[in-house]
Amino acid sequence: MKESVLDYRDYADDIGLFEMYVPEKPLTSEKEKEPAVDSLLEELNLSDFKIPSLESLDFDRKRQVLRGVLNTLKPGSLSSKGNIALDRLLQFELKEKTTFSQIDLINDHFQNIMGTQIGMYQGDISTLELDTIVNAANSQMLGCFQPLHSCIDNVIHSAAGVQLRDDCDVVMKKQAHAEPTGYAKITRAYNLPSSFVIHTVGPIVQGVPGNKEIQHLKDCYTRCLDLCVSISEIRSIAFCCISTGVFGYPQDEAAGVAIATVREWVSEHPGIMDLVLFNVFTDKDRELYKSLLEN
């Protein structure tokens, strides 16, 4: 018997999906950052981490240690006081970043297909002020547990805060089995400038993608967009390069699938979305998407 996959309506109330997230007030000055980090590190168990005495570390190293420890934190482990302290720190760090709205992102290189702008942006997906961004998750859907790993899953969870993992844990416990490849879940975005995060599980590829892997990658894009149709608050979305990191999908082939799938979906759903953005990080992906979008 095939295991059922939860629809977002099955868990929306459990995680307050449509409740407005009111972030904590950010720290008021740069001087407050180090005491905030010190306080959080005092709450967390550092015994499993081979680090020198905190007193010997400068602020940047302490902040790196904090991120690494939070990357490994089990859901629900941070106290209410710790959550507030972390949110204030993350909100201050968000203010320090340059963020980009939909108006900032659209330029002459974008295509208009049936009323939807489609284009590319190279940079940090956690700085995009769109309705939703897409996270390339693994089948457990709880984020990357490798300290300081550079994958998009880790970047998004680190910037959003621990509530993102907590919500994913609630959803996955309710589903009671791993997320199948090609499916997607949605949560609030917490300390990110976007409103939502859609988490999708791409195919793992060893060598040349077969028909099954190609279909699963298409499913990732269509199911994320189908989620957007279901939720009226979402009219803009930024996709990361799903499956092209440690999951091994060749970058050029993944880009081709992504653009063809999105173009087909947008053509079949005219005017539903205002913006579909392909967010890339590497120069190689920038050139791939630029070339494909121009054709």
Distance CA 182, CA 187 (A): 17
- Hey, what CATH topology would domain 8-20+99-293 get? Leucine Aminopeptidase, subunit E; domain 1 (3.40.220)
Domain layout of the chain by residue ranges: 8-20+99-293, 30-96
pLDDT for residue 2? 61
Distance CA 136, CA 126 (A): 13
Residue 180 has pLDDT above 70, yes or no: yes
Query: What is the 3-class SS of 82-113, one letter each residue?
Result: HHHHHHHHHHHHHHHCCCEEHHHHCCCCCEEE
Distance CA 125, CA 128 (A): 6
pLDDT for residue 48? 66
Residue 45 has pLDDT above 90, yes or no: no
Distance CA 69, CA 46 (A): 7
Each residue's pLDDT tens digit, 97-156 = 999 999 999 988 899 999 999 999 999 999 999 999 999 999 999 999 999 999 999 999
pLDDT for residue 228? 97
